[in-house]
Structure 1
């Protein structure tokens, strides 16, 4: 599975959220910096070539839908990030977020409680 570009991820998030979508609907959901319709259509076809989406045809129009789940994509690339940047250490990753003040002590306690509950 390839890593998506930022624009591809933005488009995939829309496809995951809407489930089945035409290119014009993706364009309507995008922020002010939405690419031209033809460019957007090309990006979606590239996503199809990469195996992330598939389509059903309605004449000359295609309605796209995800082939992989958001969870499967997230799991793959969270694991890659963990390996590439934190020496495969969840402790290292959580420590980074704590040091950068991206996670509070209260949130850490909640995470610990969730882990203990799962045991």
Structure 2
């Protein structure tokens, strides 16, 4: 899956949240104001990359996601783990534990989820 720039991802997050929207809806949802022409350019780039589709109502375009947020997240996390943790989820978890980003309760919850997955695969 293609990667997104920070601006593209920011706009994509809004499109995923709204599911169907106009450029002005995206502009209104942005925390930091960006000119409508810039947002429109980014949306067209997202469309060329295959992330967004549109339906035309005269000169007005309604945009919608073509890539599910879950699919993009899955692909991005896999790439991130490959780039920063040698492709090892174990290294990622170890890093999170050593940096105190995961506490014992959260680790226990993860372990229970893993046990459930293990049972389901049998």
TM-score (norm 2): 0.93
CA RMSD in angstroms, aligned pairs only = 0.8
Determine the C-alpha separation between the residues in 2 that align with 1:116 and 1:34.
Answer: 46
- Equivalent residue of 1:55, what SS? strand
Partner of 1:89: 88
Partner of 2:2: 2
Structure 2 unaligned spans of 5+: none
Give the number of aligned pairs: 118
Structure 1 unaligned spans of 5+: none
Matched, 1:60 2:67: no
Partner of 1:48: 47
Determine the C-alpha separation between the residues in 2 that align with 1:38 and 1:80.
Answer: 31
Deviations 1:36-82 (A, max 9, x none): 00011000011001100000001001000000000111111111111
User: CA offset at residue 93 of structure 1?
Assistant: 0.3
Matched, 1:23 2:28: no
Determine the C-alpha separation between the residues in 1 that align with 2:6 and 2:102.
Answer: 24
